[in-house]
Every structure is written in structure tokens, then in C-alpha cells.
Structure 1
Amino acid sequence: MVPHRSGTLLAIIIFVGLLLFIFSSPPSTDPATGEPVSGPAKYVPRPQLPSWGGIHFPFQPSAHVRPKEQKNSTSGESKWYSDWTWLYPFSSSITLDENRSVLPPLADRPVVYTYYEPNKGNGENEDADARMLLAWRRAWYAKGFRPVILSHAEAMDNQLYEAVQRIKQDPTKKFSPELESDFFRWLAWGQMGTGLLADWRCFPMAKYDDELLSYLRRGAVPTHITRFDHLGNGLFAGESNEINEAIKEAIRQVDEHSNSMLELIPAEHFKTEKSTSLAFYSPSMITNQYPMLAEKIVSSPSEGKRALVDMVNSHLHNTFQNSFPAGIAVLKPFPEKTTALIEPSLRLAKALVRCAESADLSTCPPNIPACHVCSPSNPVRISQPAQYKNTTHVFTIGTLPHPYTLLSLQQNSEEVTTRHIRRETARDPWLTEVTKELLGDEMGGFSRSSVLKNAVAGEMAIGNSVWLTVESLPSKAGESLPPDSLDELEWQLGFKIPRDDQTDAKKEEEARKSVTDPNPSKAGIEREYELLDKAREVMKTKDVNRIGIKDVAEAWNLADTEVWRFVRAYRARSIVERKKWEEEEKYFAGPKLAV
């Protein structure tokens, strides 16, 4: 017979065992190694004990918890964390990681849809259409939208598609191909829901911060479908319910005289806005304003469409140039030492002030009939100020060096020592020099870093500047930005940037001579290129001694390092964002460009 005490003890043991079994689960991985558990240990339950992380003990110092790593937040050596605290002077106080920069949260991109039906069996026309669709996507993306190309497939998914098909088969109704295409366009839009519906020949032809474009980025009016004066069916904005209600009204109103959806949808469904920010290259507009181009489209459709793409790109480029009456500023602090450092940026500026490739440079966009046309003999002004100017009248190109890179240029030697850094150099020289005119001489690096971050990524900075890191640029004399970098900048600016292969040898030689400052000697310029090359090697090396001096340079120039990492991460994130969008849309981007 089991004694009473032994029975009680046995009952307690059984009870505790049951609790452990109920509140535990077999581990799938070893917490020490992270490897999958195998063997008998796989079936041994482990209790899931409560976490004590949120409990503060009075005799223990408080410690912040590192934020969890976000998805798609790394690219190469760049790491970032998107948060509203991005204007804090130092990101490490938020991320607890010196190499992870805090960036502003990505702005929501309202969707702008277009509807495209391919020209089957006509490869040349499809290639011309592909070029136009690429220009359309690039222009809208640069203005903060998410372009999406719809097709007949989306129209078929709309519940109202069958009703349209029944009307089409009704012998008493006249259903022209144009009306059918218009119906399918609206059906596809109604199926996708809230957003903008643009003709793929309708382009945003204004600055990023234009009043209408800002209004469109805020979203559609829920009670009406917004249309725009003088644009016809070029652009609409609406929400799903209103769109499908308008389609139902159009279905009820179809008769033998119907030609377009605008004729069928009652006026009370629309709210009309005025616009001078959108350019719609409709066939009628081309005939009226660009008769030579219209004749070319009639005589050779594929060649005419390619010429139209070139003209649209020319207008987008010209609008960019007209948007900055004070020209382009390439920041050049410490001009006696940074000629080679800013050369790629200066060459970018020269490409931006060049006239775009077009058969007729004398034309203006349809929404800006009195534009200032591009003239090779009177180009946009390029300046090289040492200080950043907070104005929207000038487009700024900033080139940030790593602290070690700037130190080696200022010392004119790659042999930078800790003693030299601590005893003979000031802290954060680049940031102090660039913001001197804006903030004066007394303010410290903490406040300056927040101001420059706002100049790089603030809402008012978008579309008014480009910021690059020196180490991501070519270091050879006469080299332009790599094609991949130019491609990325085109998506930021919204138009195709003229490339160096479009210039002749004589002009190219003149361009190479013009990028160098006349003050430094030729030997001095060559020495700068050598130092830039060696600084890039230091950035990539795994040599402990080299890494040590780089860390010393960063520790001595905390604010300079902070903004350098911020710009590097900001550029990297924009590339990741665009590539992710392109990956999602790669099967829906219309016809492919001919190689």
C-alpha cells in the first residue's frame, strides 16, 4: 500500500508533467545551432516559458530592443530601416546598428492604369508601342505613381463583361470597334478598382510638386469620377463603385449612335477639373499641333510612332529644364581638392542640359504652348557652388564622399594616420562646408545631419535633387556614369537622358576638357583620380589595418558618415523599390522592345 505522502508526491509529479506536456511543443530546430532537430530529441517536448523581456528589474540598467529587420531592407552593403524617426541626427540611436540607416517610410504610390490592346501581326508597330508604353510608365513613375498596364484579360474578369457582350450581339445596337475598345477599357479599370485611368499617350508634364499631381497622389473623390478639361478620355480618377455604376449606366444608354463612353455616361457621374499639367497626344491633337508628325504617322505608322516617342521624351526633358530657371547646381565644396570627385556628377549635369534627341526641337508640349524650347547655343546654366541652397529654382546634384575619401584628397595622400585625423583635421568638414550658408558656422554636426537628410529625402526635395555617393561612381578621367546608373536616374527624372554615344568625337573631347577645373594643374587632377581609386580599394578591402583607419575616419566624422550612409541607403532603397515593382509587373508590361 502506497503511503499517503508518497501518493500526494506522485500526484504532484504527474500534474506537473501534464502541464509541461500541454504547454510545450516539440522543437523543430535547435535553439543553439539553428539546425533541424533529429533523433529521439525531436519528440521531447520543451516548455514554452513566459518571456521576461518586457519586465524591468529595478536593480538592472534599462536596454532598448533592436528593431526587427524589415523585408527588402538590404542591398549590397547598404542597410536601412524605414521609420518616421528618420530625421533623428544618428540612425544608430534608433536601429542600434551603426551600419543601418533610418529612412523615411516609402510613400504610397497611387495606381495609374492604362489599357493596351496589341497590334497582332505587326512587329514594327508593336515595337513602337512598346517604346511609348515604356516612356509612359517611366514618366508616371517619376511623379510618384505606380503605372499598371491592363489588357482584355482584366476586362473579362469584370462581372459586367457578359452584359456588354450581350449588347454587342444585339442586332438593334450599333457597336463600333472604338466603342467596344472603350467599354473594355472601363471594364478593366472597374475590375481593378480605385485609381487613375490614363490613355497611354497621356503624360504628366509638370514638376513633381505640381498642384494637380499632388492632388492626384492624394486619391480620388469617392462621390464622383474626376475628368479633366480639354483632355477628353485622356485621364480619369475614380473609385470602384462609381466606376462600375457608370459602366451600368453606359450599358443602358447604348444605341445606334453611340461612339464613346463619355457620350453614354450621364454628366452627374463626373466632376470636371481644370488642368495645365497633363499632355495628351491624341490623334486629333497631333493633327492640329504637329502636322508634320501627323503626315509621317500616316505615311509610315511605325516610323511616325517612333518619332512621336522621341518628341514626347523631348517635351518631358524640356519641361524638366524649364522647371529650374536657375539651372543645375553641382555641389563642389573644397574646390581645390574635389575636381575629380565631382566629375561624374558634372557630366550628368551636362547630359541633363543637353537637348534631347528629336526630329523637331522647336515644338512645345500641348499643355505648355509657350515653353522655352531647348537651344544648343543657349543651354541651361550649370553652377558649382560650395554650399547647398535651399531653393526649388535650381536642381541640385550632390556627391558625398566617405570621410576617408575626403581626408585622403585633402591630405593628398592615401597614407592617412590616426594622429593626423585627430590632431590636424576638423570634425565633419564636408557637412559643415555644404551647409555653411544655410546654417552658419556655429551649429554642430548633429543638427546639420538632420537638415541635409531633409534636403535629400524630404517631401519638398523629391524631384528637385539627385544625391550620389562618390564610391559608387566611376573613378577614371572622362568616364560617364555607368549605363545602369543612368537607367535608374531616368526612372527618377521621368525621361531618357542623352548618352555620350550621341555626341561626336570633337564635342566629347570638349566635354572632357570642360569638366576639369582650370585652377588645379594637370598633375594635380591625375593625383586626385589616383587617390579616388585607392580610396575605393580601402572601402572594399578586408585588410585589418586599412579597415582600422577607415573606422577611425568614421568615428572622427560621425555626422559626415551618417549622411554618407543615409544617401547610400536612400539610393539603394529606391532601386530595390523599382526593381520589385518591375518584377511584379514584368508579365503585364505590354509588348517587348525589339533588341
Structure 2
Amino acid sequence: MREQHTSIRRTLRICSSRRFRFLFACVTVFSLFSLLFSRLNTVTGQRTLSRYANRIPSVPKIRVPTSDSILNDFRQPVNPLPREKNDIFDDRSGSEKLLSVPFSSALALALDEYRSILPPLEDRAPIYCYHDPAAAEDRTTADAESDLLLTWRRAWWAHGFRPIILGPADALNNPLYGELQRLDLEPAVKTEITRWLAWETAGGGLLSFYTVLPMGPEEDPELIFLRRGIYPKLIRWQGLDDGLLAGSQLDVLAAIKHVLASSEPKQVKGFLAAAPTERFQVDDMPKPIVYYDASLIKTKYGKVNEALNDSRARGLKSLNLLINSHLHAAWQNHFSDGIAVMKPLPEHSTHMISDARQLAVSLSQCSPSPMVNSCPPNNDQCNPCVSSRPMHISTPGRYQNISTLYTIGTVPHPYTTALLRELRKEVDIPWIRWNSPRDPWLRAATMGLLGATVSSAIRVVRFKEMVASQYGTAHSLWLTAEKLIEEDKLKDYLDWHFGFAIPYDQDRGYSDPGPGRRPKPEHDPVDGPVANEADLALEPFLLQRARELHVTHNDVDGEEGGDRHQAVAVRAAIEAWNLGDTEAWKFATAFLAQRIVERLEWEKDESG
């Protein structure tokens, strides 16, 4: 019994020692911190997973009685991230908001290999134009006005706006429309107030005539201000009269009420004359905005004025041609250094970039015009387009960050790159692993910006900025070598991308007439080496083979034989080996598809 008491006293003496108390405190603190960090990591990981889990249809949702408990690691997200309205286009469009993430699979959990992380579509500030088609004299005049409205919509869309046509029905829905009809006003004044009523019904913003168009670079400060869509007061500009107005719905409504409350309606000669001047902020003439009013046409464009005096329909057609040619000329003058058609693999991609080259030739030509050598009204010192001296077209192997040089790129899938670069009709997995270089296209394209020692992850991020940043979209266009988008749909989109009808001329365009008739090119050293005739003859066949074998992971279902399955396996291997080139191709494809879907959806909404 004495030995037991002695043992207990010895144990108590050890537990009460300073060394034991310090050790016990350390263990306690370590346990608490481990528990805390484990909880935080679990919650953070669950939030990250829940944000993207709703995008993966193959992951089932777990339903258990305690699934909503904060202690359950597998509980369902409270607010799952919704997909954007234009998220699907041939299974290659994405909906994420980040340009700084190099590889999309990092956020897609590698389960949706064809989903790409895209920047969000920017909200387009609306710009309205009031038009009454019933006021046209005849069908020919109505068609001419419709063509001019198309030119107006196309130009404003290309500069980042959402052009919307208003009509009498919009004014009819305004509560003040009945009050307007009870007033004894001149027909022209009543039409002018009806225009304001339709504008107020639409919610305010920008109101324009269809002869007011933007003819300046997208980065112009005036255009940036207008694209914000925030106007603290009613704004009009010197020299534009009421051709372009800006204001909030409340300010527009207040101005309308003031004009309708006039004690002498018969004395009202115009809306601006009757509206109080203190309600308007009058700014200087905006340089990038052009207004083709009657006085300007009469003073500077005599041929168009003669056509208008002869026949309104013929005059409007002539004016439409003049405006389109001026929009084209303004674009050409902004990119005074010409057009660069990207050719990172110069010896084996001549045929691959032929579509981009064809587009560049069309852009370098002159649009039809009733006054060929005329300049836009806001640039009397322009360099008018001359057929004998078109824009310079180069085919550099590296991207050049020059603000006055427009870039057209053709991004190939790494499988296409492998066939063309090696001039082989097929490749196998051992060759990919032991002999093929990694990301050859992306490395060559960004060599001038990033040098030779940068990783593919950094190159991908820089490439995404080249394609999708505000500067990139205004100074470049990126196509894909595999022609995943229908040609007619792409050609229609390009007119809206540039803001004018591109003068496609097949006779003067670029084509490959064959080895015996191909003209000697004027070689620029910056364009890199020139392919020999034998290699050029192989390119069309290899490119077509790459396009035929370019299938998605679902295209093999139901196929007989193993050739197609083998091709898909090789493609998957080459994608895994060239993560940078694959991500660049996916991003360029999805970005172009996203922009096409955006315009098609808007066109569907505005089809009425």
C-alpha cells in the first residue's frame, strides 16, 4: 500500500513539473490549430468545388438528412453559380470571368475538356434611333432607308454599343402620348416630340439620327465616355444639333413635360427651341462622331446632294455608299502600318492562313463610293484609299504590339500543327512523346513579346490578353484553322466586327493558283523563310486531313472500325503534350463563338 502511494505521488510530481506543463500546452495549441485549419480548408475547398460542380453533369448531387448542416463537407451550395445566356456554342463556349487563369481545366475540374474560361461580355450602352417606316414615299425609298439603318447599326455595334430602332409604337406606349395628340402643333414638331416620347419609353440613354455615326478608334475618350451609359444631365453637342442627344429617363421626361406645357403650342418651332436651355449641358463637337446633315452634304459632297435632289431613294443609296466608304477609310487611316497576317510557322502554314490573307486583302481594298477620293468629315487630311496603293500586308512570325498595326491570327489545333509542321499524313503516340516539341505555335507567336525562357502558362495568359482584352479586340481578330464556324455566318459577323461592309472581291483576292502560275512574292525579311514548291503542294491535303480528323470526344459513338478511335486517342495525346497550344486554340475558338452568339441573339431580339 505504501508503494502505491509513492507511485501516485511520483506521478503527481511529474505532472506538476514545469517541463510537463509546457509540453502539455504545446500539444493543446497544436491540436487546436490543426482542428481550425482543417475546418477552414474543408469549407474553402467545398466553396471552390460547389462553385463549379453545377457545371459538371456527371457529378451527382448527394441528398442526406444532414446535407444542409454546416458540419457536412458535402452539403449543397446555397447559391450555385449560374451559366451565362450565351454559354453554349458547339460545346466550346465558356462562361467564366478570368483571363489570368492559364488553363481552363484547372477550374473545370478536367471533366469538361472543351470548356474554356472566357471574359464576361461587357454591357453595351444602348443607342436609339427613331424611324417611322410608314413615312417613306415608296417601297424603294423604304428599302434605301433600311439599308442606311443597317449601316448605322453595324457601325455603332462595332464600337461597343447596342443599337436599337424605335418606332411610333414605342411612343404610343408613353402615357404622355394622348396629351401630345390633343395639342395643335405643326406636323414636323409633333413628329419631333414623338421621337422624344419613344426615347423616354425606352429608358433614356443615347438618341441618334441614322446619319450620325462613329468614325474614330474605340479607345477615343469621347467614345469611352458614351459607352459608360451614365449621363448626369441632358447633353447635346455643338455642331450636332439634335442629331445626337444623351440623358437619363428622368431628365428626358422633365424636358418633354416642359415642352408639352407650353402656353402657346403654335409658337413651338422645335423641341430644342422650346426646351429650357438650363436643362442641357452643351459640349464641344466630339471628334470621333460624324453627322451627315443636309448642310454638310450640300457643302462637301456635291454628287450625293445632286442625287438627293433628283430622287430621295437614289440619294439615300448614294449616301449609304459614301458613309460605308468613309467608315472603311477611317479604319484604314487608324491602322496606318497595315495588316499583319500572323504566320508563326512560316515554312508550313501558307495554305492554313489563306483565309486570313484573303480577309486582309479585302480590308486593304477600297469600298465602292460615289466620291472615290473623299475623306470623312472629321478628317479632312486623311489618306484616301487608292486602288493602286492598298494597305501594306505582312506575314510576321511573331505578334507585334503596335497600335497602328492590325493583326489577323489563325490559331491551329496542335494536331493540325503536327501534320503541317512535320509534313506527315499521320502521327503516333511514340513520336509525340519522343520527337515532337511542346507548344511550337504558341512559343513562336509570343517569342517577340516574352522571349525564349518563359513557361507556357505565362504565354497562354499573354495570348488571352492579345485576343480578349479591350485593346486586343480593337486591334486584332483571331480565327481557327479548322473552320469550325460556317463561312456565311463568319462573313456576316466580320462586317459587324469591323463596322462596315467589307468589299470582298474574289478576282482581286488571295488564292493559290498552283505551282506553275503562282506569282513571285515580294518577300519581307520580317515574314520569315518561304516554303518551297514541294512543301506547298502537300499543305492542302494535310490541312484537309487534319480538319476531317478533328472530331470531338462524342463523334466516335457509332463509328465502325478503329481508325477514328485511334485518331481521337492520338489527338488526346497530342493535346496533353501541348497544353499551351491546346488552351490557345480552345480559347480563340470559344471567344469567336461567344461574339458570334452575342450578335445572333441580339439580332433575334431586334428582328421586329
TM (norm. structure 1) is 0.83
User: Cα distance 1:507–1:233, how it changes in 2: closer, same or farther (>3 A)?
Assistant: farther
| SS of alignment partner, residue 82 of structure 1 | coil
Distance 1:66 1:425 in 2: 42
| SS of alignment partner, residue 443 of structure 1 | coil
Distance 2:125 2:70 in 1: 39
- Asked if structure 1 preserves the Cα contact closer than 8 Å seen for 2:460 and 2:584, the reply is yes
Distance 1:506 1:419 in 2: 38
Shift of 1:415: 1.5
1:484 matches 2:489: yes
1:82 matches 2:74: no
1:107 matches 2:117: no
Structure 2 counterpart of 1:144: 160
Distance 1:80 1:405 in 2: 23
How many positions carry a matched residue from both structures? 521
Structure 1 counterpart of 2:272: 262
| SS of alignment partner, residue 345 of structure 2 | coil
Structure 2 counterpart of 1:497: 502
User: Cα distance 1:508–1:284, how it changes in 2: closer, same or farther (>3 A)?
Assistant: farther
Structure 2 counterpart of 1:545: 566
Structure 2 counterpart of 1:287: 298
Q: Deviations over 1:33-81 (max 9, x none)?
A: x9xxxxxxxxxxxx98342696566xx9xx9x99654433111141312
| SS of alignment partner, residue 460 of structure 1 | helix
Distance 2:387 2:522 in 1: 22
Shift of 1:406: 0.5
1:249 matches 2:265: no
Q: Deviations over 1:489-512 (max 9, x none)?
A: 1111100001125x47999979x9
Q: Deviations over 1:457-491 (max 9, x none)?
A: 012112211001110179xxxxxx93332211111
User: Cα distance 1:68–1:234, how it changes in 2: closer, same or farther (>3 A)?
Assistant: closer
Shift of 1:423: 1.4
Distance 1:444 1:517 in 2: 35
- Asked if structure 2 preserves the Cα contact closer than 8 Å seen for 1:220 and 1:226, the reply is no
- Asked if structure 1 preserves the Cα contact closer than 8 Å seen for 2:130 and 2:195, the reply is yes
Structure 1 alignment gaps of length 5 or more: 1-33, 35-46, 169-174, 475-480, 588-595
Equivalent residues in 2 for 1:38-437 (5 A)? 49-51=65-67, 55=71, 69-83=83-97, 85-96=98-109, 97-118=112-133, 119-120=135-136, 122-168=138-184, 175-222=185-232, 224-253=233-262, 255-274=265-284, 275-437=286-448
Shift of 1:284: 2.0
Distance 2:136 2:566 in 1: 63
Shift of 1:220: 2.9
Distance 1:447 1:207 in 2: 29
Distance 1:204 1:483 in 2: 26
| SS of alignment partner, residue 101 of structure 1 | coil
Which has more radius of gyration? 2
- Asked if structure 2 preserves the Cα contact closer than 8 Å seen for 1:135 and 1:495, the reply is yes
Aligned-residue RMSD, C-alpha: 2.6
| SS of alignment partner, residue 167 of structure 1 | coil
Distance 2:395 2:259 in 1: 58
Q: Which amino acid in the other structure matches residue 138 of structure 1? A: R
User: Cα distance 1:515–1:112, how it changes in 2: closer, same or farther (>3 A)?
Assistant: farther
Q: Deviations over 1:528-552 (max 9, x none)?
A: 0110000001103631100011111
Moved more, 184-193 or 420-429: 420-429
- Asked if structure 2 preserves the Cα contact closer than 8 Å seen for 1:486 and 1:497, the reply is no
Structure 2 counterpart of 1:573: 594
Distance 2:277 2:577 in 1: 66
Structure 1 counterpart of 2:53: none
Distance 1:355 1:48 in 2: 68
- Asked if structure 2 preserves the Cα contact closer than 8 Å seen for 1:339 and 1:517, the reply is no
- Asked if structure 2 preserves the Cα contact closer than 8 Å seen for 1:314 and 1:357, the reply is yes
Structure 1 counterpart of 2:526: none
Distance 1:105 1:505 in 2: 35
- Asked if structure 2 preserves the Cα contact closer than 8 Å seen for 1:387 and 1:433, the reply is yes
Structure 2 alignment gaps of length 5 or more: 1-56, 58-62, 524-529, 557-563
User: Cα distance 1:514–1:349, how it changes in 2: closer, same or farther (>3 A)?
Assistant: farther
Structure 2 counterpart of 1:458: 469
- Asked if structure 2 preserves the Cα contact closer than 8 Å seen for 1:332 and 1:338, the reply is yes
Distance 1:149 1:125 in 2: 18
Structure 2 counterpart of 1:536: 547
Distance 1:54 1:413 in 2: 58
